[in-house]
Amino acid sequence: MLPSPRLRAALAAATEDTLVYDLAGIAGRYRTLVRELPGVAVRFAMKACPVDQVLATLAAEGCGFDAASPSEIAQAAGTGVAPELVHYGNTIKSDAQIRQAHALGVRDFATDCLADVLAIAEHAPGARVFCRLATTGAGALWGLSQKFGCSGADAVEVLAAAQQAGLVPAGLSVHVGSQQMTAEAWRAALDTLAEVLVELAGRGIAVDHVNLGGGLPALGCLDTYGRPLEPPLDKIFAVLREGVQRLRELAGGQLDFLIEPGRYLVADHGAIRAQVARLTSRRLLDGEQQHWLYLSCGKFNGLYEMDELQYRLVFPTHPPDGPAVPAVVAGPTCDSDDAYAHRHALVQVPARAASGDPVWVLSSGAYATSYTTRGFNGFGPLPELCVPASEEDPDE
């Protein structure tokens, strides 16, 4: 996926390492999602890009927020969004965090166990809770299948206990894994949701919403072998639309839906302007000669996900069809994990790349700021530049 003209112009104008966001592109991606999933409310997963201007852009479009801590809740409130459009989507929270979230006006809390339900009842009395169901995570780059969620049978007991404790058993949620690459994962999750809704109805519990969670993939990244990921988005959206209709019919029409995209909204509309630190060649212990391209930006200041994804690299001062060499691409720190293409997946880079040459790292807008360290090895966070939208900008 090529960067928009706005993003390309900003990258070309940058003279120092910078993380650039195209706000119009993000707004356009949001509008696309709303068109694809009519009647499904959107809550942006803030952890993917906690940048104030990005959040304000989404809030202006009518987006709400999935927050995972009181700090994120407070940041969401700073956009002016109504408290009812923010939920506490983290199933892991202390008593103090529950109290803080409640004081900030949040009334919707994710849960997946009885202990958490009892804590919410004590520290956020009368709150609404939605129970997260476990999924296998199959088909996703990050499965999220162990730390969160419970079985369908346990979800029924959790929501029954919530009702007994004076809470509102408001809903169910799923998360099929981050960067989910199959429509089948969504279909399986929807089947599970249907089964649990039937069980809840048998217990006299009628939830009012289903949260479809995150997982919608970015479009412009590569796999660890340098191949386009090509997620089947059309098929995913079709499965979601059919599933929403099926669950609504099952519930007699009295069911709202939410979805929590993160990287889908921001990854492809963010890019890093970095530079070459050095292109070098070294002989390994087994005698193999290997090229390494070291960048000024790496795992600890913008490219944390380099182990699972490859980012498209553009070398604007070198012709795309010029001489190239296969190289391992790595960040600047003295940490051996700070590399994102190893011997099985070398990247073709300009043979004449020299220190100081600009490099554009495309589709790197998700989690670039979230995972950044304060300055490991002295390499600090990248400054951010948000390219504003204008009235002339079309939808994506």
The candidate with the shortest Cα–Cα distance to 295, out of 217, 359, 224, 390, is 359
334 a catalytic residue: yes
Catalytic residue among 49, 63, 131, 334: 334
Strand 108-111 and strand 128-132: the pairing is parallel
> Scanning the structure block, which residue is given the tokens 């279909």?
187
Distances (CA, A) of 9 to 2, 106, 261, 316, 385: 12, 40, 27, 12, 12
Would you state the torsion angle of the CA atoms of residues 306, 309, 314, 315, taken in this order, to the nearest 10 degrees?
30
DSSP 95-144: HHHHHHHHHTT--EEEE-SHHHHHHHHHHSTT-EEEEEBP---TTEEE--
Question: What are the DSSP calls for 229-267, one per residue?
Answer: ----HHHHHHHHHHHHHHHHHHTTT--EEEE--SHHHHG
Q: Are 270 and 368 in contact (CB under 8 A)?
A: yes
Instruction: Please count the residues of the chain.
Output: 396
Q: What is the helix (H) or strand (E) element at residue 7, kind and residue range?
A: helix 5-13
Q: How far is CA 3 from the centre of its chain?
A: 19
HSE, CB side, 13 Å, CA atoms: give it for residue 147.
7
3-state helix, strand, coil in the chain (%, to 5): 35, 25, 45
Radius of gyration of the chain (CA): 22
- Under 8 Å between Cβ of 318 and 357: yes
Compute the distance between CA of residue 172 and CA of residue 44 in angstroms, rounded to an integer: 18
CA 66 to chain centre: 11
Q: Which residues contact 375 (CB under 8 A, 6 or more apart)?
A: 301, 381
What is the DSSP-derived secondary structure letter of residue 226?
S
- Give the catalytic positions in this structure: 334
